[in-house]
Amino acid sequence: MSGRILVVDDEENVLVTIEAILRMDGYDIDTAGSGERALELIGQNDYDVVLTDLRLEDMSGQDILAAIRQRSPATVSVMLTGYASLESALAALREGAYDYLIKPSDPEELRATVRRGFERRQLLRRITRLEELDELKSQFLSIASHELRTPITAVSGFAQLAVRALEERLRASPPPDPSWQKELERLVRQLNVIQDQSAKLGRLVRELLDVSRIQSGRLEFRLAPVDLVQLVREVTEQMQLGAPGRSLSVRVNGSSPVILGDRDHLEQVVGNLLDNAMKYSPVAGEVSVFVRTKGDEAHLTVEDRGMGIPTDQLARVFDLFYRTEEAESRRTPGLGLGLYITRGIVERHGGRIWMESERGKWTKVHVALPLQGSPAGKRLEAGEVPAAREGAPI
Ligand SMILES: Nc1ncnc2c1ncn2[C@@H]1O[C@H](COP(=O)(O)OP(=O)(O)OP(=O)(O)O)[C@@H](O)[C@H]1O
Ligand SMILES: [Mg+2]
């Protein structure tokens, strides 16, 4: 174990004893016989643990604590105190000291306390490093998705233009040679594949951008009254076009709730939930959307009779990039972005989202959104952004 430790005390014998005990454990030790000397050393070095007497002749242990906090907040400080100043030791703990030792301290207790402090310091280091990596990951996500957007739009746009131009040509003056005609038709099909695939890529990049905006709290919203049933019907009809064999139904209980929301993002919510319901249930399986008003909220439920989700994974499916083992093993396409984004959008509306499921049988995803004019709806209207979920992964 190698760690850098500073011991501050104006009693020479205390310094010598502690130094001797801790040196046995392989630490690198500096000692300071005065507060002034301690501040000098703290300014020059990055210590893992600082042990300091609470009452020095030229300053108090609290002053040392303050200097440490300023210079390297991750340094762990341990206060050395006599029985008489136990009160001040407790005050020091409140101000951020990690622990205290009563003098003269038992060597084993001293070693254990320093070891714990050192381990804590290692942990803090690791956390800082992980936070830096996390920040880097967010930056990468944001930059990469921005940079990818332009070329994808160009590829998809030009492929679309080329298809149109070729088709028009073929219609206006079919080539005299039939093999030419076939060749050109094949080209049109290939261009259509390029267009389809780049549109898919475009959607993916848009989703990654959404993730990065949710993480940084910059998801843009244009709020307006939204008739939820109308919106749900529109999205469902749109999805039905892409899956003609499916039975998609919308059921409404009572009158249609009106909420204050961002139409595009709410369409994304319904679209993502329907996409999942269809993706994770048999092709012939029925998918239903229920809408109703309950108290101050509009409730929307998307239900399917598909593979379901094991209970222990129900909360995790909202995590970024999380996919159940079953979804992975069946090779159902997806990245695990949909529910993360959906939750981000719902929460930004002051709403809630949760799931119920029985493995191998059914899944219900519930969304509750505040009605326009309700207290939460009014807060949203006044521009109060609902607080992000604590501990939400970034
Ligand atoms: N209706 C459902 N039935 C069963 N499992 C589901 C359902 N909806 C979501 N899941 C599980 O939750 C995981 C996360 O869903 P999410 O929508 O976030 O990602 P995805 O569908 O895998 O990919 P993406 O939405 O990015 O295309 C899925 O991979 C799947 O394991
Ligand atoms: Mg999905």
47 has pLDDT over 50 = yes
Q: Is 303 in the pocket of ligand 1 (CB under 6 A)?
A: no
Confidence at 364, pLDDT banded by 50, 70, 90? very high
Ligand 1, atom 7: closest residue by C-alpha: 276
Taking CA atoms, 54 is separated from 20, 63, 68, 127, 223, in Å, by 21, 9, 14, 29, 57
pLDDT, residue 138, reads: 84
To the nearest 10°, the Cα dihedral for 16, 19, 23, 24?
70
Q: Name the class of domain 131-216.
A: mainly alpha
Give alpha helix (H) positions in 217-329: 228-242, 263-279, 325-329
| Choice from 205, 274, 303, 317 to test ligand 1 binding pocket (greatest atom count within 8 A of CB) | 317
Q: Is 344 in the pocket of ligand 1 (CB under 6 A)?
A: no
The residue-averaged pLDDT of 153-181 equals 90
Please choose, from the candidates 20, 140, 121, 137, the residue with its C-alpha nearest in 3D space to the C-alpha of residue 78.
Answer: 121
**Sheet strands side by side (includes 286-294):** 247-253, 286-294, 297-304, 362-370, 352-358
Q: Is 269 in the pocket of ligand 1 (CB under 6 A)?
A: no
Kindly report the pTM of this predicted structure: 0.71
Which residues sit with Cβ closer than 5 angstroms to ligand 2, an ion? 276, 338
The residue-averaged pLDDT of 272-296 equals 95
Return the structure tokens found at 301: 């439920």
Strand residue runs (E) in 27-97: 28-32, 49-53, 76-81
Return the structure tokens found at 313: 């994974």
Q: Is 280 in the pocket of ligand 1 (CB under 6 A)?
A: yes
pLDDT, residue 1, reads: 56
- pLDDT above 90: percentage of residues in the chain: 66
Sequence spans of domains, the chain: 4-105, 131-216, 224-381
Q: Is 309 in the pocket of ligand 1 (CB under 6 A)?
A: yes
Determine the distance separating the centroid of ligand 2 and the alpha carbon of 317, expressed in angstroms: 10
Determine the distance separating the centroid of ligand 2 and the alpha carbon of 338, expressed in angstroms: 4
Domain 4-105: give its CATH code: 3.40.50.2300
For 314-363, what is each residue's pLDDT tens digit?
989 999 999 999 998 888 889 999 999 999 999 999 999 999 999 999 99
Do residues 34 and 57 lie in contact, with contact meaning Cβ atoms separated by under 8 Å?
A: yes
| Choice from 280, 328, 358, 361 to test ligand 1 binding pocket (greatest atom count within 8 A of CB) | 280
What is the spatial distance between Cα 103 and Cα 83, in angstroms, rounded to a whole number? 8
164 has pLDDT over 70 = yes
- Residue of higher predicted confidence among 55 and 161: 161
302: amino acid identity, one letter: V
For 214-232, what is each residue's pLDDT tens digit?
888 888 889 999 999 999 9
pLDDT, residue 387, reads: 63
End-to-end CA distance of the chain: 33
So what's the architecture of 224-381 in CATH? 2-Layer Sandwich (3.30)
Helix and strand numbers, DSSP H then E, in the chain: 11, 12
pLDDT, residue 393, reads: 38
For 121-149, what is each residue's pLDDT tens digit?
999 889 989 999 988 888 888 888 888 88
Q: Is 339 in the pocket of ligand 1 (CB under 6 A)?
A: yes
**Sheet strands side by side (includes 76-81):** 28-32, 4-8, 49-53, 76-81, 99-102
Contacts of 243 (CB under 8 A, 6+ apart): 278
**Average model confidence (pLDDT) for the chain?**
91
pLDDT, residue 104, reads: 83
Least confident piece of the model among 90-94, 267-271, 297-301, 380-384: 90-94
Least confident piece of the model among 89-98, 108-117, 195-204: 89-98
- Residue of higher predicted confidence among 85 and 278: 278
What is the spatial distance between Cα 272 and Cα 267, in angstroms, rounded to a whole number? 8
What is the spatial distance between Cα 362 and Cα 282, in angstroms, rounded to a whole number? 11
What is the spatial distance between Cα 117 and Cα 74, in angstroms, rounded to a whole number? 11
Nearest atom, ligand 1, residue 327 CA: 31
The residue-averaged pLDDT of 93-111 equals 88
Return the structure tokens found at 17: 């004893």
Helix, strand, coil percentages, rounded to 5, for the chain: 55, 20, 25
365 has pLDDT over 50 = yes
